Chain A
Amino acid sequence: MLLEVDRVSRHFGGLIALNNVSLTAEEGQITGLIGPNGSGKTTLVNIISGFLRPTSGRITFAGQSIEGREPYRIARLGLCRTFQITLNPQRMTVMENMLLGAKQQLGESVLMAALKPRSVAAEERHNLERAWHLLEMVRLHNHANELAGGLSGGQKKLLALVQVLMAKPRLILLDEPVAGVNPRLIDDIVEVIKTLRNNGETFLIIEHNMAVIRELCDTLCVLDMGQVLAEGPVDAVLAREDVLRAYIAAGGQLDPDTEIATVMAADSQEHA
């Protein structure tokens, strides 16, 4: 198991945001994480990526215990995340964003930049070439010299995805990769993620769009009120009545014939 979250809890004062949550992500697979608003998904992602400390519980990544470590150390182990609201450097160009993504560059140290200019230049050339390839893959290469702040919402999501790829991660944590993205670009993003999975990348994806979840995920974990409600293969999980009820309770509408996908799609529309 590449990532193992073991009975993680997080309290904010008297509020229990996560209560004994366990979750695994297997190498080469796409694991989905869904749940109504306020169920604790983002808290969990922030804990896994080191931006929040868990109140209790253990997290193991690639055999190493990572709970409570600093975010950059976790990222250096190969667990990289994107953000729900695209926080990508706006006043940097798309290409600068890409080059920033490359992991632990020699030239990022002042001393090395001064002492080993040749190695730094060679590294830069290598990263530049990789960046052009990745930008071509997501068809952003014609925007390479534009400021990232000028891209559309969907293009920003794509940029965040390929930027993370520059770091050659072992596990990519995507926080709502298609929220607020127009349908055509959603298809593009789904295609890109599929291609990457077929090349052996591992993902943990938070998403509200059920069509995307069905299309992409191998296994699914449902959070509700800070607890794991269901876990297992996608179809089996989505067929469960308690999962349906959790979403309906959150959505405030009750119609026995409604299929869960419709409810959740409506839910995701609200976010868009």
Chain B
Amino acid sequence: MIDFIVYLLTIVGIYGLITLSLNFQYGQTGLVNFGQVAFFMVGAYFSSIATAILGWSVGVGFVLAILAGGVLGALMALPIGDLRQDYWAIATLAAAELIRMIFLNTNLGSEYVGASYGISGIPAPFQGYFSTQAYGYFYLALVAVCVVGAYVLVTWLGRSPYGRLLKGIRESDEVARALGKDVRNARIWSLVIGGAIAAAGGSLYAHFVGFIDPRFFMPLETFLIWAMVIMGGPGNNLGALVGTLVIEVIYNSTRFIHVPAEYSATVAALRMVLIGILIILVILYLPRGLVPERRRRYPRPSRLSSPPTGEPHAS
């Protein structure tokens, strides 16, 4: 049981990176990215190719994955940076499928590597130093460090003037433009940062499971990640993590329901029904999510200095 909990928390952490990333893009910037899984996939593939095929170290693979995610974010945002949010949904969905198709049809190195065969033998970092059980704890700690790092990064960015600009764009890109903001540039950066964080999650995932294959990265994954963000509370980073925990617990819970083998497929499908019902309930009764977005309060200075020259003043 404890092994299962460690496994579950590791998965929650990995998906947590991907929801923190989507929350930054959607909750903070208002970008409807229906291709979030692409960052996850690119991170997993770059890391796997670097380590399992090219034989480089896991650290190099991890950094490469992050860079690839950032570059992909820029590439996805460049052509659609000025478009309205509804266009983003379809464009990003298409981009993600396109990337999956590329990996599905590309052999990597030899005939039975890559494409629909996937990549196996992805090394686990520092495995030699631990027993199997201790390694589970180690990997959980590794994931936890990454989640904390990403959490600090997106929270700090969210509170910076850049984060405020993103929020302004989320609410009304016209007003942002009318105030002299380069909306396109801000959106591109949002996707670069979001892409890098999600790709880090993809890299950790690949090294955790040891085998990847294009079927892991279907559009359904994107919608699970959306379910996590919507359930947790868009615009709240803690909410993103809470939403991830709730959805992953439901997703993994059915393995404890013992049914005759012929019904097991039905039970697996029921998970999605349960998640769907929960999402509807959250939207109806907690539209701002389990952990709603918080507003930042500015204390009024007790004494205002004299107004700047030329500035009109209260009569």
Using CB atoms and an 8 Å cutoff, list the residues of chain A in contact with chain B. Answer: 49-51, 70-73, 75-76, 80-83, 87-93, 95-97, 99-101, 103-110, 113, 120, 123-124, 128-130, 132-134, 136-137, 139, 141, 144-145, 147, 163-164, 167, 191-192, 195-196, 198-200
Contacts and interface: CB of A to CB of B under 8 A. Distances in A.
Given A71-B178, A91-B293, A129-B304, A110 B171 contact: no
Nearest to A94: B298
Given A96-B164, A103-B179, A90 B171 contact: yes
B270 to A, nearest CB: 35
A15 to B, nearest CB: 23
Contacts of B122: none
B266 interface: no
Nearest to A192: B312
A80 B11 CA distance: 48
A120 B164 CA distance: 13
B189 to A, nearest CB: 5
B170 to A, nearest CB: 8
Given A99-B161, A132-B300, A89 B167 contact: yes
A91 B287 CA distance: 14
Given A91-B293, A137-B312, A137-B314, A108 B161 contact: yes
A99 B175 contact: no
A130 B177 contact: no
- Contact residues of B: prevailing secondary structure: loop
B310 interface: yes
A80 B179 contact: yes
Contacts of A200: 310
B307 interface: yes
Contacts of B162: 107-110, 113
Contacts of A88: 171-172, 175
B312 A72 contact: no
B183 A72 contact: yes
Given A101-B179, A104-B180, A164-B179, 7 more contacts: A71-B174, A92-B295, A96-B295, A99-B161, A100-B164, A110-B162, A145-B295
Contacts of B314: 136-137, 139
Given A92-B171, A128-B298, A130-B308, A72 B161 contact: no
Nearest to A128: B298
B161 A124 contact: yes
Given A120-B160, A129-B304, A130-B311, A91 B171 contact: yes
Given A75-B177, A141-B300, A144-B300, A199 B164 contact: no
Contacts of A92: 164, 167-168, 171, 295
A132 B161 contact: no
B130 to A, nearest CB: 35
B301 A137 contact: no
B110 interface: no
A129 B308 CA distance: 9
Contacts of A192: 312
A167 B175 CA distance: 12
A87 B174 contact: yes
Given A99-B164, A100-B168, A124-B161, A132 B301 contact: yes
Contacts of B179: 72, 75, 80, 100-101, 103, 163-164, 167
Contact of B175 (A83, A109, A113, A136): A83
Contact of B313 (A71, A93, A95, A133): A133
